[in-house]
Chain A
């Protein structure tokens, strides 16, 4: 863009003296004319975003109506904030909110620390073949569906010949096999643990890519100055991928509340519902499945508002602390 603007100066230069305001307007249109191909090329994407991300917001009106399907907009009955009232008065809502936030915070912390750590360790490996091999093996679980992963986890933790219990028994750490899946307060850890197992390798890729972008001269210089491997990691590698880390962190904070429900749905059972039910599952059970579309929409709006607040807060804090921002 910058490169193109100088061309527009001579043309608009004529009426500079008369009307500075008009000059700007004319400047814009001539810019458009100059860059018409760029504008044309971006237009489909603008439309796409508008149609798929902004137009559906119209559906938010449902939350304020007693919505019945197959009736026109004017036939719906308006009820104001009734469904939000109902939502904030339901004890279960606070319970599922707690579960959602607890599991996503745990997931966020481990989901960041472990892949970064892993990426740095991989980067320090000398043998190219071994490095590639480890990397491939570690990201393969990403492609396994949660249904299968849940099956593997339940089987591993089963008391009926599950590998984990057999190891614990063989080491004499316990006498009785432990029912991992029946303990509510362990559920969060099981979910977080399986998430780390499944996604670590995949999340590592982006950090590895960022590390390759670091200038090798920096390492050489530090070696000349006598820096150890640990010093190099701490003073060169980590600062080198700092901006990648902060961008990804801010974006994940925005998604904190919408963690989906597959893991919890597939790993949970009746004994642990107090710990396993998350917001999305609650919206499905008490909203869509009962045909209460308005209530479901109210939950959706709450979700989006919280996400936006989280995103802006996180971005604001980062801006202050690190002078970096994604917006």
Chain B
């Protein structure tokens, strides 16, 4: 094709496409909040949730239908399949294509930086009396930062005034193992090791397959839950994500730098070299980990209940009740106390927000407000009266058959009833808070928790003289309230030096910690000390200083309410 002709064609094409692009970029929706007074006409909100919700049933469950009937709202939800939806949210921020409502977890700062989130302060003030009531004194904790005191999300990941009645963490041992060994005292990692070793020697195989004394799940972020977080929990420090925060000076340091944690990892190294830690620990994926547990031949775990509950449910359905796990507060040595239950106050942080793509923010906030009302909270926690619970002498009671379904057929029950699917949509009280009728808002209260234990669990608890797992752990009353809440949900500015350094330190930690555990005992010190050097070389010290500032800022931002409890 001759050159000139090509040019002409090209130019006309460019013009054509420019027109097309300009056409697309036309007028933005006016999202100014207007109260239409309308409260029940059908409306659909799109929603993205950053946590997987495999039982979501498109609001066709019983509770969902009731919510639609009362508020007119249908939620068109999409959930992250796994991994917190980080990529998806980044793409939303870049493309400007947001749903009406979003539960973005720690990535909400990306959306705030992109100007995608609506400030809810006025909306709450005008239209949401119930939200105000539930958050009460904690309203200050909803603010985004010292510089930007807007409210972008309603923290719904955490419940207000939550009291813990049950423990889901600590170190886990199969009930059958404890029973056979006559319920020995398990307080330190040495005790834990001895129990696993003794049982393994007695039973080298279970159901014909080799016994696995201890396995961990190091797949992606799960390494934090089962490998690195237990290091601070076993050495008497509370959960502040990757940091240890000095309660006096608020100075933050990577928790790996504490000398006592090095000793914890040395113990894991010892477990590996003794052949007690599963050789596949750092190679297996989460599904392999769970399939091992559900085969009933893993004696001990160091995990949180939600991390392996699928596998435990499989054990229950298979009738291997005795292979489910007991939770024990194990520490490195007697001098440390497990800080799992140190009170953070209301942790605030992650929650649901309204984006500026939402056509009717007033309806959205009213919807959330209704869910936060007494009626709404009872519905999402208890279900429908006469169906999922009955009122007897003014008390809400769950019929036995429903309770059985809840325990033994949990996922199907959630799918059909919808109980538990709607808590992330609005503010809600935690366990142990009573409504005006004198009943608890949630179904987790001591009697109900004991009722949900399996016979094997009850037997173990009885042997240790406790009624719930929590009775075995040091209580929150033993520790002061942390004025910064939980440091793991402090948001940081996107794309800053801090995030790059943080990612680099994570890469080093996730590579070197497994290496330190899998090496021979004589090389452990060298590998571990080298990791600390590498971390500092990657800029960890500067990062710790920056984080110290963030923690101090938060204490200041929350200043008004830290004394409230």
Contacts and interface: CB of A to CB of B under 8 A. Distances in A.
Contact of B90 (A50, A159, A271, A288): A288
Given A69-B93, A154-B288, A291-B494, A271 B282 contact: yes
B13 A47 contact: yes
Given A269-B283, A270-B514, A293-B94, A70 B115 contact: yes
A77 to B, nearest CB: 12
Interface stretch (B121-129, B240-248, B429-437, B499-507): B499-507
Nearest to B21: A55
A270 B13 contact: no
Contacts of A50: 13-14, 17
Interface string B198-233: 000000000001100000001100010000000000
Interface string B502-541: 0110010011001100100000000000000000000000
B503 A269 contact: no
19 contacts: A25-B4, A28-B2, A46-B13, A51-B20, A68-B113, A70-B115, A92-B504, A154-B283, A160-B280, A182-B282, A182-B518, A269-B283, A269-B285, A270-B218, A270-B223, A270-B510, A274-B511, A290-B499, A295-B495
B5 interface: yes
Contacts of A288: 87, 90-91
Nearest to A55: B17
B539 to A, nearest CB: 12
A70 B97 CA distance: 10
B110 interface: yes
Interface in B313-366: none
Interface in A270-291: 270-271, 273-274, 284-286, 288-291
Contact of B94 (A69, A154, A155, A269): A69
Contacts of B14: 50
A50 B223 CA distance: 46
Which range holds the interface residue count of chain A? 35 or more
Interface in B248-296: 279-280, 282-285, 287-288, 292
Interface string B4-36: 110001000110110011000000000000000
Contacts of B503: 285-286, 290
A289 B2 contact: no
B94 A292 contact: no
B116 interface: yes
B283 A69 contact: no
A286 B279 CA distance: 31
B60 interface: no
Contacts of A55: 17, 21
A182 B219 CA distance: 13
Interface in B84-131: 86-87, 90-91, 93-94, 96, 110, 113-116
A179 B494 contact: no
B195 to A, nearest CB: 22
Contact of A273 (B20, B21, B280, B510): B510
Interface in B168-214: 209-210
Nearest to A70: B114
B509 to A, nearest CB: 9
A32 to B, nearest CB: 8
Contact of A291 (B5, B96, B113, B219): B113
B279 A179 contact: yes
B282 A270 contact: yes
Contact of B96 (A46, A70, A270, A294): A70
- Determine chain B's interface SS by DSSP, over half rule: helix
Given A50-B13, A70-B96, A274-B511, A289 B113 contact: no
Closest 7 CB pairs of A and B: A291-B494, A69-B114, A70-B114, A292-B495, A181-B283, A70-B115, A290-B499
A158 interface: yes
Contacts of A291: 90, 93, 110, 113, 494-495, 499
A3 to B, nearest CB: 17
A286 B223 contact: no
Nearest to A71: B115
B114 A269 contact: no
A267 to B, nearest CB: 10
Interface in A50-71: 50-51, 55, 68-71
A326 B435 CA distance: 76
Contacts of A285: 503
Contacts of B2: 24, 28
B5 A28 contact: yes
A290 B13 contact: no
Contact of A154 (B20, B114, B285, B495): B285
Given A270-B218, A273-B507, A291-B494, A179 B13 contact: no
A160 B280 CA distance: 8
B90 A273 contact: no
Contacts of A160: 210, 280, 292
A68 B17 contact: no
Contacts of A28: 2, 4-5
Interface in B435-465: none
A151 B286 CA distance: 11
A179 B87 contact: no
A151 B288 CA distance: 9
A92 B534 CA distance: 13
Given A69-B94, A286-B500, A289-B87, A269 B17 contact: no
A284 B87 CA distance: 8
Given A25-B4, A284-B87, A179 B283 contact: yes
Nearest to A24: B2
A169 B372 CA distance: 62
Nearest to B92: A69
Nearest to A293: B94
Q: Which of B113, B209, B515 has the most CB of A within 10 A?
A: B113
Contacts of B94: 69, 293
B152 to A, nearest CB: 14
Nearest to A176: B279
B16 A290 contact: no
B393 to A, nearest CB: 54
Contacts of B284: 154
Contacts of B4: 25, 28
B333 to A, nearest CB: 28
A271 B279 contact: no
A31 B291 CA distance: 70
A24 B500 CA distance: 59
Given A269-B218, A270-B511, A289-B90, A69 B96 contact: yes
